Amino acid sequence: MKNVETLLLENPKKAIIKVSKPIIFAMFLESIYSFVDSIWVSGLGADALAAIGASFPIIISIYAVSWGLGVGASSGIARKIGAKDKEGAISVANHAVILALIFGGLYLISVYPNIFGILDLMGVYGICKILAIEYLKILVLGIGLFTTYEVLCGVLRGEGNTKIVMIASAIGTLTNIVLDPLFIYILHLNIAGASYATLTSIFLSTLILIYYLFIKKESYVKIDFSKFKFNFEVVFDLLRVSLPTALMEITVAISFFIMNYIIMIVGNSENLAVYTASLRITEIGFVPMLGLASGAISVIGASYGAKNYEKLKTAYFYTLKIGFLIEIIIVASIMIFAPILAYLFTYSKTSMSMYEDLVKALRIVPFYLLFTPLILTTSSLFQGIGKGERSLMIALIRCIICHPLYSYILAVIYSLGILGVYLGLVIGDFTAGIFSFLIGILTLMAISKYLSKRNQKIEK
């Protein structure tokens, strides 16, 4: 108990670094997997890579549901630890695991029968559509694994125990990287092999977390269903963070859906493949900020639970500062090494025609990363204090309004084509970033005022 409280409550700067480092490492490995996965798939041709791009909306929705539940668990547990309520933290963990199974089942029932129709709505056709269905029909069946894994990760992140999460993720990711070429080429499963490799690795990572939490029982928060009692308030608190967080990610899926549609209006499947490859590459640059933001949720949540405004504010601005420094370095690196990175996705005869276009894309698309610290840090602030609906508002403005609107205006109305899509992505994040920072500052001012009045009442 003392060690957990000391980690999350003493020095917010040290806490964020200590909690975030394993998360960043784990997420970096996962991004490397996505990167390598796309490289192996690109060897099957531009249509296969375009099929992965067409699958993005559904893939993101899988991660949305899973990640949302994990963040809800992490935020709830961190706030209970800050308030020195261990039993409350255990109750949050118990409810989160049950919700993971329920939501996994609901997703499977609602999405699996409609994969064909969803791709139709995006305007995906021909070989690209056939390959996307082949890839997705396997991946969607594993939704229960994704939700369970992310909730168990969320439980451990909530108590600041991110080392085990890193180990489980690392083992799963390395397994995935090894299995990809085996399943895709040696066993001749083609694009379906990528799905089988992903599910196998997630299964292995989940087993590691189950062993640590349920068999070794070395975590601070002990998941114990023998003491489980349904509590509507706990469920409401979880869903208040989980659902908006999931919907935030689903807005990303909807954004991809719309952006893919715009690309198919002004271009073709090769343009979609280039766009997909550019996002896979820049996704690696997204990881450090996402890891910092994930660590900030626990620190901000604990500070808010302990009613310590100064530590909460320090955590927010420190995350912003470190995030900006990292993203500047990453954007510069991607632009400098664009020719080398582009070659990794165009090494085969069937995909080499994309090389020049991909190099051009990598000189524009990465600029959106410069504004992610403003967006993700402010979202973490809201998730940490249990007001996930405000994070959802940011996501709606960013993904549903800014990205599609700017892209459509520039690509279609101003006839800039695929260049307009790239510029729309960057300008959209700039707009959303400024908006996020402004409401983040206003929220900090409101918290300061609230806690000041509360402390005055206590003193009286």
The dihedral formed by the CA atoms of 201, 203, 205 and 208, expressed in degrees to the nearest 10: -140
| Over residues 14-26, mean pLDDT | 81
Report, as an integer, the average pLDDT of 7-24: 77
In the structure, what pLDDT confidence band is assigned to residue 1 with cuts at 50, 70 and 90?
very low
Average pLDDT score over the chain: 87
Between these two residues, 361 and 10, which has the higher pLDDT value?
361
- In the predicted structure, residue 449 carries a pLDDT above the cut 80: yes
Q: Quick one: pLDDT band at residue 368, thresholds 50, 70, 90?
A: very high
Confidence class for position 371, pLDDT limits 50, 70, 90: very high
| DSSP class of 228 | -
Query: What's the pTM value of the predicted model, to 2 decimals?
Result: 0.73
Tell me which range, 126-140, 207-221, 366-380, is most confidently predicted by mean pLDDT: 366-380
Q: What is the mean pLDDT of residues 156-167?
A: 83
pLDDT mean over 144-161: 88
pLDDT at 6 (0 to 100): 57
Q: What is the pLDDT of residue 305?
A: 79
- Predicted confidence band of residue 318 (pLDDT cuts 50, 70, 90): very high
Q: What is the pLDDT of residue 459?
A: 59
* Cα–Cα distance measured from residue 445 to residue 269, given in angstroms and rounded to the nearest whole number: 48
d(Cα 124, Cα 55) in Å, to the nearest integer?
10
- Centroid of chain to Cα 120: 26
What value does the mean pLDDT take over residues 426-435? 97
Q: Is the pLDDT of residue 21 over 90?
A: no
**C-alpha span between 371 and 220 (Å, rounded):** 36
Q: Which pLDDT tens digit goes with each residue over 78-121?
A: 888 877 888 888 888 889 999 999 999 999 999 999 888 888 88
Question: At residue 443, does pLDDT exceed 80?
Answer: yes
Give the residue ranges of DSSP H helices in 43-159. 46-82, 86-111, 115-121, 126-139, 143-158
Domains held by the chain: number: 1
Average pLDDT of the segment spanning 420-449: 95
DSSP state of 364: T
Interval 278-288: pLDDT, tens = 988 898 888 88
Q: Mention every residue, 6+ apart, whose C-beta is less than 8 A from residue 49.
A: 38, 41, 42, 273, 276, 277, 345, 351
pLDDT at position 224 over 80: no
Summarised one tens digit per residue, pLDDT across range 342-351 is 998 887 776 7
Would you tell me how many other CB atoms lie within 10 Å of the CB of residue 93? Answer: 27
pLDDT top residue among 28 and 403: 403
Report residue 460's pLDDT band, with 50, 70 and 90 as the boundaries: low
Q: Residue 220 has what DSSP assignment?
A: S
Cβ atoms 364, 422 nearer than 8 A: yes
Tell me 188's DSSP state.
-
Cβ 65 vs Cβ 147: under 8 Å? yes
Judge whether residue 9 has pLDDT over 70: no
- Kindly state the tokens that stand for 441: 């500052």
Close Cβ partners of 79 (under 8 Å, ≥ 6 residues apart): 301, 302, 304, 305, 384, 386
Percentage, residues of the chain above pLDDT 70: 96
- Judge whether residue 200 has pLDDT over 90: yes
- Integer-rounded Cα Rg, in Å, for the chain is 22
Domain extent at residue 127: 2-459
At 2, the pLDDT band (50, 70, 90 cuts) reads very low
Q: What is the mean pLDDT of residues 289-311?
A: 85
Measured between alpha carbons, how far is 116 from 121 in angstroms, rounded to an integer? 9
Residue 212 has phi, psi (to 5 degrees) of: -70, -40
pLDDT at 141: 92
Q: Which of 17-31, 105-119, 358-372 has the highest mean pLDDT?
A: 358-372
